[in-house]
Amino acid sequence: MEKPILLVRDELIKNIYSAIQNSGLPLMIIEPTLKDIHRDILRALQEEYAKQMQEYNAHLEEEHTSDNE
């Protein structure tokens, strides 16, 4: 059985906090770094959304084409 997503998320959060605490970096460096990471994640989400939308629309078009034959 795969580990439940909520447990994976919890581990991720703990690992991020641990990495921040153990980095020794001042908050003035950590804060913009986290903003950069957040921006990258948003960009990746937008790309994934666009990809899934394109795949879904292509699938609908295929169904529509096959129904008309």
Whether the per-residue pLDDT at 17 is higher than 90: the answer is yes
Distance CA 69, CA 44 (A): 38
- Please give the single-letter amino acid code of residue 23: S
Can you give the length of the chain in residues? 69
pLDDT value at position 53? 98
pTM given for the model: 0.73
DSSP 7-52: HHHHHHHHHHHHHHHHH---HHHHHHHHHHHHHHHHHHHHHHHHHH
Using DSSP's 3-state secondary structure scheme, residue 3 falls into coil
* 68 or 64, greater pLDDT: 64
The domain tally of the chain equals 1
**What is the span of the domain harbouring residue 19?**
5-67
